[in-house]
A = this chain, B = another copy of it.
Amino acid sequence: MSSAQTDVIVIGGGLSGLSAAKLLREKGLDVLVLEARDRVGGRTYTVQRDNVSYVDLGGAYVGPTQNRLLRLAKEFGVKTYLTNEVEDLAFYQKGRTHRFKGAFPPMRNFLAHMDLNNLFRLMDKLGKEIPAAAPWKAPDAEKLDNMTMQEFFDQHVWTKETKAFGSQFVQVNVTSEPYEISALWFLWYVQGAGGPFRIYATSNGGQERKFVGGSQQISDLIAERIGPGQASIIEPRCVSRSAGETSVTVQCINGQKFHAKYAVVATPLPLQNKMTYEPPLPSLRNQLIQRIPMGSVIKTFMYYKKPFWRENGFCGSAAIDDDGAIIGFTLDDVKPDGNHPALMGFILADKARQYVDMSTDERKRRISQLYCKVFQSEKALKPVHYEEMNWLGEQWSGGCYTTLMPPGFLTKFGKEIRKPFGERASREILHDLGKIRADEIWQDEPENDEVIAREFVSTFWERNLPSVPGFLKLAGMTSLLSAVAVGAFLYHRFK
């Protein structure tokens, strides 16, 4: 069996592990990246095919505030292009499509509008109160953490329409259901992504751009640069780690052994169960990695001869609120050169679990039928090609997009996660080796000079519209009739 010595072993060749390795390499250390798959990139996965050119079957979108990724892309000359949002967005509900512009779809009645406005104002307010680096210190942290998002909606949302949109908002942002996640975690996560508007929006938000040529390029290019010389990427699956006083040994399934001064584990948390540890992990860490599963999503692409939705005045973005609909969220996926027009659609959370054992042909059929209704064109029924990626079945990712935290997890186990990782892990090592100062370990990322975050400006009515109970109280004070008059007045004003 082979046996090699290096400075640092990085376990996991996704973006996190590779960016850690790159940083160490730049400081002159020997680095070895271990990856279980026969490719790097992890949850970014770009596939080349004749009939689609290339397609991002995994993580694809990037937008303002994601400055670390934007910096890496720029360094390697990977360009971005805008996700199409020129024409109308679609909101599909109860068998009907409603056109709209902006981040959130319009609610169909006044109470629901007030309710939605109040919900997102509240989520934004609570999110801002949660310290990014110590969410367990938020006001009412334990109360919010011991509650699911479902409970949060039950407590704060009054209308069926807003509750349904709240669920869809959870599903599309974290590929899980409101009943399975901690409210504290979700509010913290959304805030970490720039707030409820930034995370959900296309323009000025998380889905603003895609990478020309696909997102996996960035990992491929890092891997190429750190190369097979002093740092190398190999395929065997890592299975165990044993820590000596001043060194770490990693043994892979194929029997290969590697020794290093440090190891950085850069895999999703649940996959850390796949390794065995000698000595065993600390107790809380041993239980933590059992408690933080990956989300559930199947990413689909339906290809057409022409972007028929644009012809109908739709940009391709749709939020779909329908129990029977297989897809929850779509975006235009036409290539920057206008070729290979497609609609990207997510099968999310419970829907992913429900439809995962169906045949690919049957999924394709249901999706094209749904698109026919959502984008109001029979042309949707005649796709020329279909691609999909079932992340639920991926042994070396566990799921996508990310981990989810069940109720109570963050306040009880959260601190165990805030251990160094990625580039920061590398800087902890560099500091330990005397190569950088302690105050250089934590580094804010300056804003990218091309992809700029603009503030989401709220209107007077968004800030001041009452909540549903507030409105009903008002109604109680004035009599139902005059309240209806006030309602009609307000409705007229914000319309």
Residues of chain A having any CB pair with chain B under 8 Å: 146-148, 150-151, 177, 179-180, 237, 239-240, 251, 253, 255, 270-271, 273-274, 276-277, 280-284, 286-287, 290-294, 296, 350, 353, 356-357, 390, 392-395, 398-399, 406-409, 412-413
Contact = CB atoms under 8 A, between A and B. Distances in A.
A2 to B, nearest CB: 14
Contacts of A292: 290
Contact of A395 (B151, B280, B390, B406): B280
Contacts of A406: 180, 406-407
Question: Interface centre among A277, A294, A395, by most B CB within 10 Å?
Answer: A395
A154 B441 CA distance: 45
A484 to B, nearest CB: 33
A408 B180 contact: yes
Contact of A408 (B179, B286, B412): B179
Contacts of A294: 287, 290
A406 B181 CA distance: 9
Question: Interface centre among A179, A280, A395, by most B CB within 10 Å?
Answer: A179
11 contacts: A239-B239, A253-B276, A274-B274, A277-B395, A283-B357, A283-B390, A286-B394, A287-B392, A287-B398, A290-B399, A353-B413
A179 B276 contact: no
As for how many copies of this chain the complex holds, the number is 2
Contacts of A280: 393-395
Contacts of A277: 395
A186 to B, nearest CB: 14
Contact of A273 (B274, B296, B394): B274
Question: Interface centre among A237, A281, A286, by most B CB within 10 Å?
Answer: A286
A88 to B, nearest CB: 34
Contacts of A148: 146, 148, 151, 407
Contacts of A353: 284, 287, 412-413
Given A150-B146, A408-B179, A273 B276 contact: no
Nearest to A36: B276
B290 A270 contact: yes
A393 B282 contact: yes
A279 to B, nearest CB: 9
B290 A398 contact: yes
Contacts of A271: 273
A356 B287 CA distance: 12
A25 B350 CA distance: 42
Contact of A281 (B147, B179, B395): B395
A269 to B, nearest CB: 9
Question: Interface centre among A151, A273, A287, A357, by most B CB within 10 Å?
Answer: A287
Contacts of A399: 286-287, 290
Contact of A287 (B251, B283, B296, B408): B296
A175 B399 CA distance: 28
Contacts of A281: 393, 395
